[in-house]
Amino acid sequence: MTDKTLEIIKDIRGKILGVDFGDKRTGLAVSDVSGYLASGIGYVSPGGIEKTADEVARIALERGVSAIVVGLPVNMDGSEGGRAQRCKKFAWLLEERLGGGIPIAMFDERMTTMTASRYLNETNTRGQKRKTVIDTLSAQIILQNCLDRLKYMRESEGGVK
């Protein structure tokens, strides 16, 4: 899989699945059909990158999504480390399981976990509940940022608003 930017899904209409891949838990969010609002739908933790790709592919098909966005953990200086390479591998495995039928884009997820943590601090979410919510919230933030960027791209080109 080559680096795939939002250009490949810019003109897609329909629901988009947002994925915050993690070794322990993978957060998921889905957009509304119009592509304007992201909602967290939970997380999966089947164990291992292969099983996680299987489960996320199943959910994508079950939910009838038109595209998938996987968060890419880019370092603050813009470089990519081992974690980014692991997320790219996950996206490649996911694409393989879906037979290329659903386009998958990578999206810079810098600061999303920090934003999710800040929100949970402000809402006084602590303990075990925090662990079960943060991955879903991170996926929701990744997807909402992506949806906002897609809207901006379309408007900049004079397209659909």
Would you call 77 helix, strand, or coil by DSSP? coil
Residue 161 within any structural domain of the chain: no
In this prediction, residue 112 carries a pLDDT of 66
Reply yes or no on whether the pLDDT at 93 is more than 90. Answer: yes
Distance CA 45, CA 22 (A): 9
Reply yes or no on whether the pLDDT at 116 is more than 90. Answer: no
Region 76-92: what's the mean pLDDT? Answer: 88
DSSP 116-146: HHHHHHHTT--HHHHHHHHHHHHHHHHHHHH
Distance CA 149, CA 52 (A): 27
Alpha-carbon distances of 13 from 57, 59, 151, rounded to whole Å: 19, 18, 11
Residue 160 within any structural domain of the chain: no
Number of domains in the chain: 1
Reply yes or no on whether the pLDDT at 67 is more than 50. Answer: yes
Residue 95 within any structural domain of the chain: yes
Structural domain for 33, as ranges: 6-155
Other beta carbons within 10 angstroms of residue 86's beta carbon come to 15
In this prediction, residue 3 carries a pLDDT of 43
Q: Please list, residue by residue across 95-124, b when 16 or more beta carbons sit within 10 angstroms of its beta carbon and e when fewer do.
A: bebbeeebbbbbbbbeebbebbeeebeeee
- What would the two tokens of residue 74 be? 């880019």
Reply yes or no on whether the pLDDT at 89 is more than 90. Answer: yes
Residue 77 within any structural domain of the chain: yes
Residue 1 within any structural domain of the chain: no
- Containing 31, the helix (H) or strand (E) segment is strand 26-31
Residue 87 within any structural domain of the chain: yes
CATH of the domain at 26: 3.30.420.140
Residue scoring higher pLDDT (143 or 153): 143
